[in-house]
Structure 1
């Protein structure tokens, strides 16, 4: 898998996350670059969802 494929996959995932949780901003989603735990924490704070629910949604 090359860098372009990885970025394309991330863009698809970001779109799905924004569809599910519209309150998320682009700034929130940029935390994934090396900071997955911080991203999940931000998502929990903004959405009130559990970590498990967020992790499940990001794998769909």
Structure 2
């Protein structure tokens, strides 16, 4: 977790759907996950998504 002035940035790994597995009804041999970067401004309230990075593991 980093602090930058009044903003807080953090990322959390979450599952990403493998569409090839859904379309072919087979299990995927590759595991995918994403890291979502969020920006929270204490003065404006709601959290906004800055970006999503997908990677194979």
Which of structures 1 and 2 has the bigger CA Rg? 2
If the TM-score is normalised by the length of the shorter chain, which range does it land in?
A: under 0.3
Q: Which has the bigger relative contact order, CA under 8 A and spacing at least 6?
A: 2
Query: Larger strand proportion, structure 1 or 2?
Result: 2
Query: Larger helix proportion, structure 1 or 2?
Result: 1
TM-score, normalised with respect to structure 1: 0.24
